[in-house]
């Protein structure tokens, strides 16, 4: 198994209706649970930079021997209509400005990356209007990428399944976006739940992405923590081993049957993988 990859879980500091998040609104309790279960890092799913005090957060991270693997930004689109793919220019500008503030906040709290996933939103899907909105959305992503590159923090772009968005669905779509942006510090985030829907082969998606892969989400096909469904994680781990991946592997999954058990099941998954062997 790829033992050198930090393992973590996604948590929202504030209560949220976004489902695949653990300990939403109970951040410090969640961080203690991660530490007690031997995990290494936390991904913060933020709606606003006011969601958590940087001073208090850094103190408990130090106390619990954890670090922030990335800051996720999708809640701003889901709840505040701050979406990079929106057709309104003023709204798009507000979204880019919000994202830049999140980047500054991520630097303050020591995050190792920032994610563009759900903050893309949906594009108007009618002919020429879709193409025009795609081009404008791509420009907005490039603006964000230039800001992260200037501030020396990696940007991660996450392909998401067709039921949640209508652009950048597959790893191949994501690699095309990387080509369009042309900034080496921008990488892909591949999520096993989304790949289960969109890819012909999750393993091949990982292999084809190669060193352009910067981050991984693990969730089973049920969107429960890994090992609670039928996804073949051993094959995916072997593919990650083949490409020399050493970045974080973070569980972004439903907190079922409850938060505490979901964290424990995630930790158990990793222990089982290690005991039963793997690359």
For residue 254 the two structure tokens come to 């439903």
Q: Is 158 a catalytic residue?
A: yes
* pLDDT value at residue 275: 75
| Average pLDDT over all residues of the chain | 96
Q: Is 252 a catalytic residue?
A: yes
Q: Kindly report the CA angle at 64 between 226 and 49, in degrees rounded to 5?
A: 80
Catalytic residue among 36, 108, 252, 274: 252
Catalytic residue among 36, 56, 158, 198: 158
* pLDDT value at residue 181: 97
Are 5 and 39 within 8 A, CB to CB?
no
* pLDDT value at residue 1: 57
Q: Which of 84, 91, 86 is nearest to 117 (CA)?
A: 84
For 188-216, the DSSP string reads EEEEHHHHHHH-S-HHHHHHHHGGGEEEE
* pLDDT value at residue 44: 98
For residue 151 the two structure tokens come to 């501030």
Cβ partners under 8 Å of residue 22, min gap 6: 9, 10, 11, 30, 251, 253, 255, 259, 262, 263
Dmax of the chain from CA atoms? 54
* pLDDT value at residue 73: 98
Question: Domains of the chain by range and CATH?
Answer: 7-276 (3.20.20.150)
Q: Taking each helix axis as running N to C, give the angle between helix 171-181 and helix 202-209, from 0 to 180 degrees, rounded to the nearest 10.
A: 20
Average pLDDT for runs of 10 along the chain of length 279: 87 94 97 98 97 96 98 97 95 97 98 98 87 95 98 98 97 98 97 98 98 98 97 96 97 97 97 74
Which pTM value belongs to this model? 0.96
* pLDDT value at residue 279: 47
């Amino acid at each position: 198994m790829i033992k050198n990859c930090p393992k973590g879980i996604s948590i929202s500091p504030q209560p949220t209706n976004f489902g695949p998040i653990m300990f939403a609104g109970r951040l410090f309790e969640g961080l203690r649970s991660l530490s007690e279960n031997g995990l290494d890092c936390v991904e913060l799913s933020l709606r606003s930079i006011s969601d958590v005090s940087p001073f208090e957060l850094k103190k408990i991270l130090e106390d619990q021997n954890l670090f922030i693997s990335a800051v996720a930004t999708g809640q701003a689109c889901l709840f505040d209509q701050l979406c990079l793919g929106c057709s309104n220019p003023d709204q798009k500008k507000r979204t880019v400005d919000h994202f830049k503030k999140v980047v500054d906040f991520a630097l303050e709290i020591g995050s190792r990356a920032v994610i563009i996933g759900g903050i893309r939103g949906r594009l108007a899907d009618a002919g020429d209007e879709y193409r025009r909105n795609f081009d404008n959305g791509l420009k907005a992503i490039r603006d964000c990428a230039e800001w992260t590159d200037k501030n020396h923090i990696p940007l991660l772009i996450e392909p998401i399944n067709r039921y949640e968005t209508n652009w950048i669905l597959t790893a191949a779509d994501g690699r095309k976006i990387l080509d369009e942006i042309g900034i080496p510090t921008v990488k892909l985030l591949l999520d096993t739940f989304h790949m289960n829907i969109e890819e012909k082969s999750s393993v091949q998606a990982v292999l084809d992405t190669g060193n352009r892969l910067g981050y991984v989400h693990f969730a089973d096909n049920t969107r429960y923590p890994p090992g609670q469904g039928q996804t073949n994680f051993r094959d995916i781990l072997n593919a990650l081993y083949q490409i020399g991946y050493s970045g974080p592997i973070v569980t972004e999954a439903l907190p079922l049957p409850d938060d505490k058990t979901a964290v424990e099941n995630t930790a158990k998954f990793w222990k089982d993988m290690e005991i039963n062997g793997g690359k």
